[in-house]
A = this chain, B = another copy of it.
Amino acid sequence: MSIWGDDSKRPNWGRCPVRVVVIGAGFAGLATIQGLRKSRACVSVIDRQNHHLFQPLLYQVATASLNPSDIAAPIRRIVRGQKNAEIQLADVTGIDVERRVVSLADGEVPYDYLVLAAGATHSYFGHPEWEEFAPGLKSIEDALEIRRRMLLAFEVAERETDEALRREWLTFVVVGGGPTGVELAGTLREVARMTLTKDFAHIDPSTARVILVEGSDRVLPPYRPEMSASAKRQLEALGVEVRTGQHVTRIDAEGVMIGDERIASKTVLWAAGVAASPLGRALGVPLDRAGRVMIAPDLTIPGHPEIYVVGDLAHLEQDGAAVPGVAPAAAQMGKHAARNILRAMDGKPTLPFKYVDKGSMATIGRGAAVAQIGKLKISGFVAWLMWMFVHVFFLVGFRNRVLVTIQWAWSYFSYDRGARLITGRAEGPLVQGLTERRLPSTEGAEPIHG
């Protein structure tokens, strides 16, 4: 068999009647790709990662509960059955809207329709120097770095003899009280209180402090006030110190500053700012303050009806508010873009997009969550069960659903977490800055400080 494979199974790209290029295979991009599967268009998918990521569960990788592969699936596997799709693992460097060409680091891809679904990344509010000290949570690499730092903090505290420094290693700050920050903070306390308690000889992990700092007046600002209040109560029941109406003004190797107050901490996590992918700027159309592209109701950009922007990268006003940057909205937008492209290919007019809010939920920890669906508000254990069910249901791939369900069930009954590995950074000193320490011989009467 030739190296080219059996071309009869794939459309002859040179003869594609219509070429659609989709940049990004997240929730929005994937919905577009799948929405075009029966069409006569050829779909080129470009992503710089080889996998689709189920972002709502990323914090569980960050807190050592799940593996990366449990919440991610290779894009190729997901679109395997789709004969009109090809996938390119590549970096997009630019978009030429006049020539209708997407520039890659090493080539170009022409298009008839372009769907930009490149998503969002972190924003450090104009302080990129904070990133080194406060990793965010947008990719698997981010999650594994947070996991590494979290586990390492306890390991270092175990061996630290200076009590002030030990306290710093056992103090965690989460910046940002949206769903991501709430989930991280709650789970951090769970890990300290339940998972690690019996594992250390010289520290008591359950004394770890977790401080959640939120600039607005309540956590979970997009939710209803009763939900925010319930979340705050559940967080505090877990032992999280919730600080609302406070802004972090500085982050460095010693911790954070909130105005004049310093919180000494060796592990700061960033869940506060989101900025749209820089690819939005390549289109040359108006953006909002966060860099998101202002789109028309049919999801296209002004002056270019062949270019769609969907997902976290898009800004669309509806009923006086922006469509939120959440997974269900992204998926709905992606699906609608596919519909409109099919209509345009048939010469029909496009339709405006209407976001249907199917509800929101956020989990705080074991057995604790908040959920709102329309007027229905639920919190506590029932909300948590719903949360788990919904997330497992929407995970991509039956195999992943089975494995995640088993691991969650295991964790629930055993209080254990399966992925407590410190990996990465194999070379170089493990940790800088430990106090010089000399241990007494066994004849001395002093207790040995780990």
Contacts and interface: CB of A to CB of B under 8 A. Distances in A.
Interface in A79-126: 80, 85-91, 105-110, 112
A352 interface: no
A137 to B, nearest CB: 13
Contact of A206 (B1, B112, B436): B1
A422 B106 contact: no
Given A418-B69, A439-B110, A105 B3 contact: no
Given A204-B2, A402-B406, A440-B14, A430 B159 contact: no
A407 B403 contact: yes
Interface string A427-450: 001100011111111101111101
Contact of A199 (B17, B76, B442): B76
A72 interface: yes
A198 B80 contact: yes
Q: Give the size category of A's interface with B.
A: 35 or more
A439 B109 contact: yes
A199 B48 contact: no
Interface string A337-362: 00000000000000000000000000
A159 B44 CA distance: 12
Nearest to A6: B204
B416 A77 contact: yes
A442 B100 CA distance: 12
Interface stretch (A162-170, A237-245, A249-257): A162-170
Interface of A: 1-7, 10, 12-19, 48-51, 67-70, 72, 74, 76-77, 80, 85-91, 105-110, 112, 139-141, 144, 151-152, 155-156, 158-159, 163, 166-167, 170, 196, 198-204, 206-207, 399-400, 402-403, 406-407, 410, 414, 416, 418-424, 426, 429-430, 434-442, 444-448, 450
Task: Pick the 7 closest A-B CB pairs, nearest first.
Answer: A13-B448, A76-B199, A107-B437, A5-B204, A86-B201, A89-B155, A69-B419
11 contacts: A3-B163, A3-B203, A14-B448, A16-B442, A50-B420, A51-B421, A67-B68, A105-B429, A144-B423, A399-B414, A399-B418
